[in-house]
Amino acid sequence: MKLDRRSLIAAGTLLAATARFPALAAPAQKLSSAQRNRIDTLLAAMTLDEKIGQMVQIAGGRQIALNSRLDEAALDKVRAGRVGSFLHVAGAQPLQALQRVAVEESRLGIPLLFAMDVVHGYRTIFPVPLAMAASFDPDVAHQAARIAAVEASVSGLHWTFAPMIDIARDARWGRVVEGAGEDPYLGARIAVAQIEGFQTADPANPDTVLACAKHMGAYGAAIGGRDYDSAELSERTLRETYLAPFHAASHAGVGTMMTAFNDLSGVPTTGNEALVRGILREEWDYQGLVVSDWNAIKELIAHGAAATPAQAAALALRASVDMDMTSNTYADHLAPAVAADPSLLPLVDEAVGRILAAKARLGLFDDPYRFGDAAREKTVLQSADHRAAARRAAERSIVLLRNEGATLPIRSGRTIALIGALADDANSTLGSWRARGNKDESITLRQALAERATVRFAPGVDTRSGDTAGIPAAVAAAEQADITIIALGEDYDYSGEARSRSDITLPGAQLALIEALRATGKPIVAVLMNGRPLALESALEGIPAVLETWFLGNESGHAIADVLMGRVSPAGRLPMGIPRNGGQLPLFYAHPPTGRPANPDLAVDSARYRDADIGPLFPFGHGLSYSRFDYSDLRAEGQGAKNHMVAVTVTNSGPVAADEVVQLYIRAPVPGLARPVRELRGFARITLAPGESRRVGFALSSDQFAYWDDGWKVAAGPVECMVGASSDDIRLTTAIAVPSAYDLAAGALAGAALATQVTLG
C-alpha cells in the first residue's frame, strides 16, 4: 500500500500511535501534543529499515569540498528512506533540491537534517573558540553563535556541530583551539551562551540552528594530549570538571550532543552505557538527539570493545547513541542485530523518536523548506553588521600578556618594522574550522597596520621550514625602524583535530629570527598567533611587550592593529595558562594542594620541577590593560542558609577608559579531602572611564561549592572567597559560611555547572 505521506505527516492521527514518546525535559526540547502525535504516527508507519534509515547520517561532501558527494547513489538512498541526515553540505539552493527528493520521492516524505561544523562563523569568521573564551564575555560568544546561525540557516543548514565544550588542560592536544580552555566554570558559561546563540529560546524561531555539545564526556582529558587517546579519570574529576559544561548544556536545552571518540577509564564512550544512557539520559533527563562522532561506532571494533559490526551497533544503541555519523554500522548491521536480539527494537524506536523530535522542533514537518533562502543568502553572508560584530569579538579576545615600560600602545608617528610570515597570513586568521570562510575576506595585521602607521614588512622566516634566508632583510627592516613587531607562533594547521604536538615551542626557525632581532637593540613587541598556548619562556625573554592574539577571524588585522596603536585597550584573559615548557603539562590552576606545596627554595622537597620555575609563565585569568584597576571594600553578606552575596568595588585608577575582568574564586574545604586551591565561580567584564568606580556583586548558592562523593554533597563550614584580576593576582579575600552539610538530589546542577548571578552597582 502506498501511504499518503502528506496526510500522515500533517494529520498525525491517521494511524494508531503505538510507540511511546518520552516526555521531554528542558524548554528547548518541549514538543506540542500535535507534534508528539505526528511522531508516534510516523513511528507506527515505519518499517524497521526506514527507522534505521533515520539513524543514518552520511557525508554529502567533505569539509573542504562541500556537497561533493551528492551523487545519484546518495539520492537513491534518500528515496529509499535509508538516510536521515547529511553532513558537510551547504547552500540554500542545493539543499532545497536535496530536501525535495526526501519529501517528494521517499515513501514517508520525512525531511532530512542538514549539518555542518559551523564552529566560529559560517562565512563571516569570528575568533577561534579558545580566543572567544579569552574575551571572558559570554555575550561575545552568544553574538558570534547567533550570527553564525543566521548565516548557516539562510544557507539551508539545520544543525551545527558546535560548541565543543571539552575541558583541556594539556596544550599539546591540538583541539584546545576548539574549546574554552581549562576551567569548567568558564567553559560552562561560554557553552550556554553559544547554545543560546545558535538555538535561541526555541529552535523553531527563524534563523536558528540546532547546537551540538561535543564531545561528551572526557575527550579533552586524552592522556598526554594525544588526540583520540584514552582518558583515565576519577569519578570526582569527571563530574566536577569534565562533565560540568555538558550538564550545563543539557540543562540549557542543547538540541543535540555528540559522543567522544576516546575511551573513558577503559570504556569507549560511543558504547558507554553508564555514561551516555546512565548519566546523560537517566540522571540528567536529556532527551535530545545524540550523534556519534565520525565513524566512531565502527571504531568500537578497533577499540576492542566489539568483535563484529553488529556488536558495535548494539553497543552504541544500548548506550543510546541515536545517529551514526558516517560509519554505516547502523545502516548495514543494526537490522541483523535486532533480529538476533529483539530487546533492541524498543531502543530503535526511542532513538528514531528523538531524531524525529529534533526535526519537529525545527519545524521541518510543517515546512521542510523553511531553512535556506537563496535571496537572503546573497545579502546576509558577510553583511556589514556581521563584520562589525566579528571585529568587536576579535578586539575583545586579545590578551596583553606583558607590557614592561609601557611599550604599548605604540605612539603615533613611529616607524614600525613588522616581521614574521604570520603577520600577513590571511589563511591562518580563519583558524582550523572555517566553514565557508574565505581568506580573501580577511584583513591581515600587515594590511591593517599599514593603514595606521609607516610599516616596513619583512617575513623573516615562515613557521614551518628551517629556512633562515629571510633573516638579514628582517634585521635590516628593524634597524631602520623605531620599534619592531614580530608575529610569532604556529600557523592554523598546527592546531585542530589530529594536530597534537609533543613539542610546543616555536616551530621552524622563529627562534633564530628572534635572536637576530634582539641583537638590533630595538624595542620588540611579540604578537603571538596560535591555536594553543605555546611554551615560550625562553623565546620571550627580554621582550618587553607580548600580545596573545590567537586566530581572530576575518577582522584579525583591524583588531590587533587597534590594540597595538591604542585605539582599543586590551582586556582579554587567558582561558588556559601558558606553560613555561611542555614538560609541565598537564597544568591547571585549580589543582589540589599537596602535602608539600611547591616551594621556591630548592632545598625544600616540594611538588615542583627542579629545572623550571613554579607554575605557568602566564596563569589562567591573566591579562593586562592600558589602564590600572584598584579593588576595595570586599564584603560578604549572608542571604539565608544557601544564598550568599559577595560584593567588591573596582575603580579605574589609570589614564584611559578600559575594561577589567573581575574574577571571583572560591576555596571550599571538605573534611577528609584535598580540594582545589581555588576554583573560578564568577566573573564580570566591566567598562570603566578613568576615575570611575563600580560595585560588582556576585550572588552565589551553596550548591556551587558542591563536591562529588558518590553524589553531590556540600560540606558545612567556611568558604574562602578571593577576588582579583587573575587566578594568580588575588587582591582581596573574605569568607562566607555554609551552616550545615547537605546532599543534593540526583541529577541536580551543581558546582561549576551552575551560574553565578552578577549585579553591577
d(CA 283, CA 272): 15
- Residue 6: φ, ψ to 5°: -65, -45
Task: Judge contact between 525 and 483, C-beta under 8 A.
Answer: yes
Q: Which is nearer to ligand BGC, 161 or 712 (CB)?
A: 161
173 is an interface residue for ligand BGC by CB under 6 A:
no
Q: Which is nearer to ligand BGC, 59 or 477 (CB)?
A: 59
Q: How far is the CB of 586 from ligand BGC (least distance, A)?
A: 21
Site string for ligand BGC, 291-310 (x = CB under 6 A): --xx----------------
Query: From its phi and psi, is residue 320 left (phi > 0), alpha (psi between -120 and 50) or beta?
Result: left
Q: Which of 86, 126, 161, 629 binds ligand BGC (CB under 6 A)?
A: 161
229 is an interface residue for ligand BGC by CB under 6 A:
no
Q: Which is nearer to ligand BGC, 293 or 350 (CB)?
A: 293
Q: Is 293 known to be catalytic?
A: yes
d(CA 149, CA 119): 10
497 is an interface residue for ligand BGC by CB under 6 A:
yes
- Closest residue to ligand BGC in the complex (CB): 161
Which cell is 366 given?
A: 510543517
**745, exposed or middle or buried, with CB in 10 Å at 0-12, 13-18, 19+?**
exposed
Q: Which is nearer to ligand BGC, 95 or 571 (CB)?
A: 95
Q: How far apart are the first and last CA of the chain?
A: 69
158 is an interface residue for ligand BGC by CB under 6 A:
no
Q: How far is the CB of 88 from ligand BGC (least distance, A)?
A: 7
Q: How far is the CB of 141 from ligand BGC (least distance, A)?
A: 18
**468, exposed or middle or buried, with CB in 10 Å at 0-12, 13-18, 19+?**
middle
Q: Which is nearer to ligand BGC, 37 or 295 (CB)?
A: 295
d(CA 666, CA 241): 15
214 is an interface residue for ligand BGC by CB under 6 A:
yes
Q: How far is the CB of 61 from ligand BGC (least distance, A)?
A: 11
Q: How far is the CB of 497 from ligand BGC (least distance, A)?
A: 5
Number of residues that bind ligand BGC (CB under 6 A): 7
> What are the DSSP calls for 600-666, one per residue?
S-TTS--SS-TTS-SS-SB-TT--B-SS-EEEEEEEEEE-SSSEEEEEEEEEE-SSS-EEEEEEEEE
HSE-CB at 19 with a 13 A cutoff on CA atoms is: 27
Q: How far is the CB of 115 from ligand BGC (least distance, A)?
A: 8
Q: Which of 293, 322, 373, 562 is catalytic?
A: 293
SS3 93: helix
- Cα R_g (the chain), whole angstroms: 26
Which cell is 102 given?
A: 526526501
Q: How far is the CB of 401 from ligand BGC (least distance, A)?
A: 29
324 is an interface residue for ligand BGC by CB under 6 A:
no
117 is an interface residue for ligand BGC by CB under 6 A:
yes
Q: How far is the CB of 435 from ligand BGC (least distance, A)?
A: 11
Query: β-strands 263-264, 454-458: how paired?
Result: unpaired
Strand partners, 629: 652
Sequence letter at residue 110:
I
d(CA 414, CA 459): 20
Q: Which is nearer to ligand BGC, 257 or 474 (CB)?
A: 257
Q: How far is the CB of 294 from ligand BGC (least distance, A)?
A: 4
479 is an interface residue for ligand BGC by CB under 6 A:
no
Q: Which is nearer to ligand BGC, 255 or 459 (CB)?
A: 255
Nearest 5°: the CA angle 623, 625, 626 is 155
Q: How far is the CB of 219 from ligand BGC (least distance, A)?
A: 8
Q: Which is nearer to ligand BGC, 38 or 214 (CB)?
A: 214
Q: What is the dihedral of CA 286, 345, 367, 115, to 10 degrees?
A: 60
Q: How far is the CB of 161 from ligand BGC (least distance, A)?
A: 3
Q: Which is nearer to ligand BGC, 153 or 160 (CB)?
A: 160
H-helix or E-strand spanning residue 690:
none
Q: Which is nearer to ligand BGC, 117 or 562 (CB)?
A: 117
Task: Judge contact between 423 and 458, C-beta under 8 A.
Answer: no
Q: Which is nearer to ligand BGC, 375 or 498 (CB)?
A: 498
Angle between the N-to-C axes of helices 329-340 and 309-319, in degrees from 0 to 180, rounded to the nearest 10 = 90
d(CA 106, CA 114): 17
d(CA 258, CA 212): 6
Centroid of chain to Cα 24: 26
Question: Per CB under 6 A, which of residues 57..96 are in contact with ligand BGC?
Answer: 87
Question: How many other C-beta atoms lie within 10 A of the C-beta of residue 761?
Answer: 9
551 is an interface residue for ligand BGC by CB under 6 A:
no
Question: Per CB under 6 A, which of residues 708..737 are in contact with ligand BGC?
Answer: none
The residues assigned a catalytic role are: 293
Q: Which residues bind ligand BGC (CB under 6 A)?
A: 87, 117, 161, 214, 293-294, 497
